[in-house]
Amino acid sequence: MFVIFLGPPGAGKGTQAHKVAEELGILHVATGDILREDVKQGSDLGLQAKSFMDRGELVPDDLVIAMIMERISRQDAVSSAVFDGFPRNISQAEALESRLADRGASVSAAVYLKVSEAALVSRLAGRWLCRECGANYHEVNHPPAQVGRCDMCGGTLYQRSDDAPETVHRRLQVFLEQTEPALEYYRQRGLLAEVPGEGPIAEVTERIIRAVSGPGL
Ligand code: AMP
């Protein structure tokens, strides 16, 4: 079972992919999280990826594809995973399809979270993340009990530098130019599940589970 999450920045891919992976009892693989961790550690990959991420551009395919292929070759991803933020264009979709086909597997469903542009911009502008455990907050929709502190682990909250308005604008453009064609790729294969991404978090999770629960799942 391999489920993909597609959607513009701020659509809720991270939050929902985490919940769905938990519900289905499978691994959650978030390319953005892996890349941010590499940047933090100062690894070769992090050093190469940083300038693209800072500008809101996609990190080059060869780097991201190699990173994901390595990740899914490990034992915990042999038969299932939820991908969040990958693939983000057609060449990544093709690379994933061909690697899974080598193992006799395929993508089971591609979830497209649809959210209005106004909601995306407001979600990103008010988003705070925990530096320790990655939990997500929003200053209006989902504030932490104590300002600047994570409810889960007490870690410090921070705002992502690429959530600044000018970078958000570029990330939205990149979605339209490069990721939308990948939606079509999955639509043509009958795998695209379009899910309204606005409303209470638990309701959106239920919609997704309903949308992806079919013969293959
Ligand atoms: P995210 O956390 O998914 O919003 O990703 C943050 C940033 O990481 C993106 O704006 C890209 O610069 C980079 N990134 C994440 N996933 C990918 C991907 N599949 N391909 C290329 N770049 C990516």
- Measured by CA distance, the residue closest to atom 8 of ligand 1 is 32
- Nearest-atom number in ligand 1 for the CA of 171 is 10
Query: What pLDDT is recorded for position 93?
Result: 98
- Measured by CA distance, the residue closest to atom 12 of ligand 1 is 53
Q: For the chain (length 217 residues), average pLDDT per consecutive 10?
A: 95 94 94 94 96 97 96 91 97 96 95 95 94 91 95 96 93 96 96 95 95 69
127 flagged as catalytic: yes
171 flagged as catalytic: yes
19 flagged as catalytic: no
**In the chain, where the domains are located:** 2-115+180-212
Distance CA 3, CA 175 (A): 19
Using CB distances shorter than 6 Å, the residues near ligand 1 are 9, 31-32, 35, 52-53, 56-59, 64, 85-86, 88, 92, 162, 171
88 flagged as catalytic: yes
Fold of 2-115+180-212: Rossmann fold (3.40.50)
Strand, helix or coil at 27?
coil
Distance CA 29, CA 68 (A): 9
Query: What pLDDT is recorded for position 215?
Result: 46
Distance CA 138, CA 216 (A): 35
Query: What distance in angstroms lies between residue 144's CA and the mean position of ligand 1's atoms?
Result: 26
Query: What pLDDT is recorded for position 214?
Result: 66
pTM: predicted TM-score of the whole model, two decimal places: 0.92
Backbone angles phi, psi at 197, to 5 degrees: -100, 10
Burial grade of 164 (CB within 10 A; 0-12, 13-18, 19 or more): middle
CB 42 within 8 A of CB 35: no
